[in-house]
């Protein structure tokens, strides 16, 4: 029987350290590595990251858009990288932020969450702003496949607040409503559920939100965006042990040197582990 994503994530973070490395091959980053903004550059960048980190980092978050922009050849690179990362023991969270209704949502789910799909990933980021219930095809297929979801709840971009902090008629914000849905999905799961939230590490005091959803909290913003590992306990409180801190540029700017990439990832993992341990 396939272990749930929540179980596999807990094990990976305990063994390899609580770190997620984003794989974001945008043009400026390729240029900083001395690479061309084309398929050759994309391949060199992607598989250097795989070589450097696949066997030691717990979680990887490829940003699908940076591969999709190269068409079918870019998606082929993403397929290979996803398979290679998973084969080396890393967990892949596909950052595609899909969200739709009915058969279209089901098709998105099949793309990333069906076990025999070329892009099968351990988890998928999804947008719930057509209504949380519209995510049901993804929720159902994730359960069937032993995969997980990360639902946008309290994102770090300033524009997000106009939706996520809007207040419903019952007095609860939209973001809090999404957290409550996820807590329901994860009820009774051990060591934690597979349905997580995206919550920005740069948001400061979030004590007015109940982050104890018994599931993972994907936390972008560590490193170049300004948050530090030491900030995590103040932001996430009692839920900090389930935080999956994402670092992208903070690690990737050290490439293309493989040893420098490894050293940077190890430092972040150690700093985060120490901060979480208190």
Catalytic amino acids? Answer: 97
Buried-state track 99-113, b at ≥16 Cβ within 10 A, e below 16? bbeeeebbebbbbbb
CA distances from 207 to 150, 163, 204 (A): 20, 19, 9
Compute the residue count for the chain: 278
Taking Cα atoms as reference points, which of 72, 66, 82, 155 lies closest to residue 118? Answer: 82
Question: Within the chain, where are the H helices?
Answer: 5-16, 27-32, 39-53, 64-68, 71-87, 102-113, 136-145, 161-164, 174-186, 232-236, 249-252, 258-277
Angstrom distance (rounded) from CA 142 to CA 151? 13
Angstrom distance (rounded) from CA 4 to CA 224? 32
Angstrom distance (rounded) from CA 75 to CA 83? 12
């Amino acid at each position: 029987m396939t272990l749930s994503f929540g179980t596999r994530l807990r094990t990976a973070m305990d063994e390899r350290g609580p770190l997620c490395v984003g794989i974001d091959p945008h043009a400026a980053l390729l240029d900083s590595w001395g690479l061309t903004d084309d398929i050759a550059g994309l391949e060199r960048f992607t598989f250097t990251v795989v070589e450097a980190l696949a066997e030691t980092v717990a979680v990887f978050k490829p940003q699908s858009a940076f591969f999709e922009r190269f068409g079918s050849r870019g998606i082929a690179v993403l397929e290979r990288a996803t398979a290679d990362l998973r084969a080396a023991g890393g967990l892949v969270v596909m950052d595609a932020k899909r969200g739709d209704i009915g058969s279209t949502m089901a098709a998105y789910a099949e793309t990333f969450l069906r076990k025999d799909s070329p892009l099968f990933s351990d988890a998928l980021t999804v947008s719930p702003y057509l209504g949380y219930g519209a995510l049901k095809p993804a929720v159902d297929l994730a359960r069937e496949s032993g995969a997980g979801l990360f639902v946008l709840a309290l994102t770090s971009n300033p524009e997000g607040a106009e939706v996520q902090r809007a207040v419903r008629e019952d007095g609860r914000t939209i973001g809090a409503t999404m957290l409550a849905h996820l807590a329901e999905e994860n009820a009774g799961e051990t060591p934690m559920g597979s349905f997580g939230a995206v919550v920005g590490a740069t948001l400061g005091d979030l004590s007015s939100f109940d982050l104890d959803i018994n599931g993972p909290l994907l936390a972008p913003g560590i490193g170049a965006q300004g948050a530090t590992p030491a900030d995590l306990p103040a932001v996430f409180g009692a839920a900090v042990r389930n935080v999956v801190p994402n670092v992208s540029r903070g690690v990737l700017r050290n490439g293309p040197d493989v040893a420098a990439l490894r050293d940077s990832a190890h430092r972040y993992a150690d700093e985060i582990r120490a901060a979480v341990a208190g």
